[in-house]
Amino acid sequence: MPVLEVKKLQQIFEQGTPNENHALKSIDLSLNEGDFMVIIGGNGAGKSTLLNSIAGSLPVSRGQIKINSQNVTYQNVAKRSRLISRVFQDPKSGTAPLLTVEENLSLALHRVEWRNFWRTGVKKSDQALFREKLAQLGLGLEDRLTTEIGLLSGGQRQAITLLMATIETPSLLLLDEHTAALDPKTSATVMELTDKLVKAQNITTLMITHNMDDAIKYGNRLIMLDHGQIAVELNAAEKKGMTVPKLMQLFKERSGKELNNDAMLLG
């Protein structure tokens, strides 16, 4: 049984106007439990639109989205967030800066909104779990439970955001260029951590990246979007022998043009 099923998904912006834009043109996707699919593509190819549609932050024009066989197409973001965790590009967006590391983790574990935090506080019984989870990151954060998140570096914050997103295993994890704002070394560390967490919990994952090396190295599936369509789709076996030049060539053959993305790191 697939965890995520996307059927004939269409996203049309400014419909009926001279600026009508078919950002997604009948996308079909199916992810089984533990699948880790990487999404790459040129500027404006539809990558963010696809993730926004799946997360529910963008109402779909046509088509259907199912998670665990449940039709979520018309569910709002809040309702879908019981099934979906999402990590964004900006390390500041996933955590509350004035709360401590343990307070942030507590919010994630108990799914409490930060506004209601004063009512619950951090349970003593959770602290051992937080220390253990933080130690697994290998960044020494287990000794900083009471440090305000805002005082940590971007990489440390993004690692904690990942931990928060996976502290309760989500049905689906959406990674929206979550390493793009980090320096290359920190980005590599956070990518390794991501892979470790995803594998350890067998989390079904969709990740947008502009880093072609990461796109090839991580995950068991890969799609390349072009003008709202899937131009290239690779399975685990096809991904194994892939290189950046081969992938660029494949894209050119299938789409009839060169990959055009200002932010793309070609490795």
In terms of CB distance, is 41 or 219 closer to ligand ATP? 41
Asked if 21 interacts with ligand ATP (CB under 6 A), we say yes
User: Please, which contacts does 167-171 make with residues 24 or more away whose CB atoms are closer than 8 Å?
Assistant: 167/105, 167/108, 167/109, 167/133, 168/108, 168/109, 168/111, 169/201, 169/203, 170/83, 170/84, 170/85, 170/203, 171/3, 171/67, 171/68, 171/83, 171/84, 171/204
* Residue 211 contacts ligand ATP per CB under 6 A: no
By CB under 6 A, is residue 31 in contact with ligand ATP?
no
What backbone phi and psi angles, to 5 degrees, belong to 67?
Answer: -125, 130
Candidates 23, 37, 72, 101; binder of ligand ATP (CB under 6 A) is 23
Cβ distance to ligand ATP smaller for residue 194 or 209: 209
Candidate segments 39-47, 88-96, 118-126, 234-242, binder of ligand ATP by CB under 6 A: 39-47
Q: Does 61 bind ligand ATP (CB under 6 A)?
A: no
In the block, which residue shows the tokens 């894209």? 251
List the one residue from 2, 44, 63, 154 that touches ligand ATP (CB under 6 A): 44
- Which two three-digit tokens encode residue 198? 């995803």
Among 2, 5, 7, 13, binds ligand ATP (CB under 6 A): 13
Closest to ligand ATP by CB, 149 vs 224, is 224
- 168: DSSP letter: S
Q: Is 50 left (phi over 0), alpha (psi -120 to 50) or beta?
A: alpha
Q: Is 41 in the site for ligand ATP (CB under 6 A)?
A: yes
**Applying CB under 6 A, which of residues 15, 43, 153, 249 lies at the interface with ligand ATP?**
43
Q: Which residue in 26, 48, 81, 147 binds ligand ATP (CB under 6 A)?
A: 48
Nearer to ligand ATP, 162 or 223 (CB): 223
Structure tokens at 17: 């106007």
Q: How far is the CB of 93 from ligand ATP (least distance, A)?
A: 16
Interatomic CA distance for residues 161 and 140, integer angstroms: 15
Farthest-apart Cα atoms in the chain, separation: 59
Q: How far is it, in rounded angstroms, from Cα 240 to Cα 236?
A: 6
Q: Which stretch binds ligand ATP (CB under 6 A): 26-34, 37-45, 116-124, 178-186?
A: 37-45
User: From start to end of 99-246, where are the E strands?
Assistant: 172-176, 205-208, 221-226, 229-234
Enumerate binding residues for ligand ATP (CB under 6 A): 13-14, 21, 23, 41, 43-49, 261
